[in-house]
Copies of this chain bind each other. A is one copy, B any other.
Amino acid sequence: MPGSPEPGSPSRPLELDDDRILPTEPTVRAIAREIFAAVRDLPLISMHGHVEASVLAHDEPFPDPAQLLVVPDHYVTRMLVSQGARLEDLGVPRRDGGPVERDGRTIWRLFCSGWHLFRGTPSRFWLEQELHDVFGVRVQPSAETADAIYDQILDCIGRPDFRPRALFDSFGLEILATTDAPASALDDHALIAASGWGGVVVPTFRPDALVHLARPTWKQDVEELGAVAGRDVSGYAGFLDALRQRREHFVRLGARATDHGHLTADTTPLERVDAERIYAAALSGAVTPAEAEAFAAHMLFEMARMSRDDGLVMQIHPGVLRNHDPAVHERFGPDKGFDIPQPVDFVRGLRPMLTAFGTDPGFRCVVFTVDETTYSRELAPLAGAYPAMRLGVPWWFLDSPLAMRRFREAVTETAGFYNTAGFVDDTRAFASIPARHDVARRVDSGFLAQLVAEGQLRIDEAIETAVDLTVTIPREAYAPRGA
């Protein structure tokens, strides 16, 4: 790959600067250190992620290093692909079961030889901290060091203290929310609850597959929903009933929130009769794209209404065009790095929902974006007015030091700190969770330190605010609502 270090160049040590990401000006850094010290070791509150509950329910050892750190992480694989690697060579399974690389060590070597591509990215930061802190690696990945690192990690993950539950405990996770389909029985969550292990793992209700009528599996997913919920879903009323039933089930198993990924932020409700008609059309396979879009928007509104009624916090993250390259989607499925953000109109999109429920004490929504242009223009003014709304912190592409800093810089002056929600790590990579929270705490400490150094905030207020951002605010933001 272009720009790689010369083959045979000496290994570079992997060291972690204790002040990493903190501001560089010495006075500000000293203030930031003081703030960061107050939050560094606070519990991790992980309310939005993609770790499977089964990992913690069964507590099996992780497979090989490539399967742990490379293959399932689309941040990592897409970067290697962007420089000419093939997903097959990175071990990403093909939908047709065709041949892909299965040797962990071979995949790991390919990843290590592309290590320089991650310079300046959060993947570099997370992986470095993970390799260093979790697996004790002290040399940077490269073609030369690949095998030694592979062996070292392989040795770790065979040991009991590297099992998922042991890591969960050592990470200091106060709570971990998973992401689950409405039809999920949540057996893994039940298993964890019944296990006597003290870890708190809660489900999150994600109904996307059921509200996007144009998805090829929609009818099948709805039928599965009906079966699991014990409701007749041949009509729209039964569909809503089934959703309500599943939400109740999620609430019983500790769910705090729902999660909604839509192409737009539209929340315009339909007339009941139109919703019924479109639902029926979808069941008979005759729905138009415009009807499907209108129904998705309508269902966001309905989900808000249900949230107002059952207290689940509603997480909305619109504006990503999924599977930009249909060939990649066709061959490897979704979530392979070819999801591209697009502009979102939150102002008109959220208006129906916010005017209906935005001042209702029973309703809480957390709104995420990957379109930074909306921070100061739309989201901060909305969150700075409607009591039901909180701003989701930077996420996905923006879950990185500079982007997090830009978020605080763009929204704080309009919405303050207390209209934002806690950090969400949104990860599939279980072992990266501490590093991800660590970045957020460092960035927030640095931003607060700057305010102190500029005479805009007192140090005791800054420390109080940092603690609030780390634990008080996310606990409150995701607390069950309502009666």
Q: Is A385 interfacial (CB-CB < 8 Å)?
A: yes
Interface string of A301-342 (1 = CB under 8 A from B): 000000000000000000001001111100000000111111
Quick check: B397 and A376 within 8 Å, CB to CB? yes
Quick check: A25 and B25 within 8 Å, CB to CB? yes
Quick check: A121 and B371 within 8 Å, CB to CB? no
Quick check: B385 and A2 within 8 Å, CB to CB? no
Which residues, 340 to 395 on A, are CB-close (under 8 Å) to B? Answer: 340-343, 345, 347-348, 351, 354-355, 358-359, 361, 370-373, 376-378, 380-387, 389
Q: A110 → chain B, closest Cβ, in Å?
A: 14
Interface string of A16-42 (1 = CB under 8 A from B): 110111101111100000000000000
Check A418/B456 contact, CB under 8 A, given A324-B354, A342-B378: no
> Which residues of the partner chain B approach A416 to less than 8 Å between Cβ atoms?
79, 117-121
Interface string of A72-105 (1 = CB under 8 A from B): 0000001101111000000000000000000000
> Which residues of the partner chain B approach A456 to less than 8 Å between Cβ atoms?
20-21, 120, 124-125, 401
Q: 18 A-B Cβ contacts within 8 A?
A: A2-B473, A3-B417, A3-B418, A3-B468, A3-B476, A24-B28, A25-B25, A78-B384, A82-B419, A120-B416, A324-B354, A328-B359, A340-B347, A340-B382, A341-B347, A342-B348, A372-B377, A373-B377
> Which residues of the partner chain B approach A245 to less than 8 Å between Cβ atoms?
none
> Which residues of the partner chain B approach A26 to less than 8 Å between Cβ atoms?
27
Q: Which of B124, B345, B408 contacts A342 (CB 8 A)?
A: B345
Q: A474 → chain B, closest Cβ, in Å?
A: 11
**6 interchain residue pairs of minimum CB distance:** A17-B455, A20-B455, A400-B413, A120-B412, A3-B468, A24-B453
Quick check: B337 and A2 within 8 Å, CB to CB? no
Quick check: A464 and B3 within 8 Å, CB to CB? yes
> Which residues of the partner chain B approach A24 to less than 8 Å between Cβ atoms?
25, 27-28, 450, 453-454
Quick check: B79 and A476 within 8 Å, CB to CB? no
Q: Which residues of A contact B (CB under 8 A)?
A: 1-3, 5, 12, 16-17, 19-22, 24-28, 78-79, 81-84, 116-122, 124-125, 321, 324-328, 337-343, 345, 347-348, 351, 354-355, 358-359, 361, 370-373, 376-378, 380-387, 389, 397-398, 400-403, 406, 408-410, 412-419, 450-451, 453-458, 460-461, 464-465, 468, 472-473, 476
Distance A371 CA – B372 CA, assembled complex (angstroms): 12
Distance A402 CA – B412 CA, assembled complex (angstroms): 10
Distance A83 CA – B383 CA, assembled complex (angstroms): 9
> Which residues of the partner chain B approach A457 to less than 8 Å between Cβ atoms?
119-120
Number of copies: 3
Q: A391 → chain B, closest Cβ, in Å?
A: 11
> Which residues of the partner chain B approach A400 to less than 8 Å between Cβ atoms?
413-414
Distance A401 CA – B16 CA, assembled complex (angstroms): 30
> Which residues of the partner chain B approach A28 to less than 8 Å between Cβ atoms?
24
Quick check: B419 and A83 within 8 Å, CB to CB? yes
Q: Which of B386, B403, B460 contacts A325 (CB 8 A)?
A: B386
**Which residue on B lies nearest to A125, using beta carbons?**
B456
Quick check: A355 and B372 within 8 Å, CB to CB? no
**Which residue on B lies nearest to A3, using beta carbons?**
B468
> Which residues of the partner chain B approach A82 to less than 8 Å between Cβ atoms?
383-387, 389, 415, 419
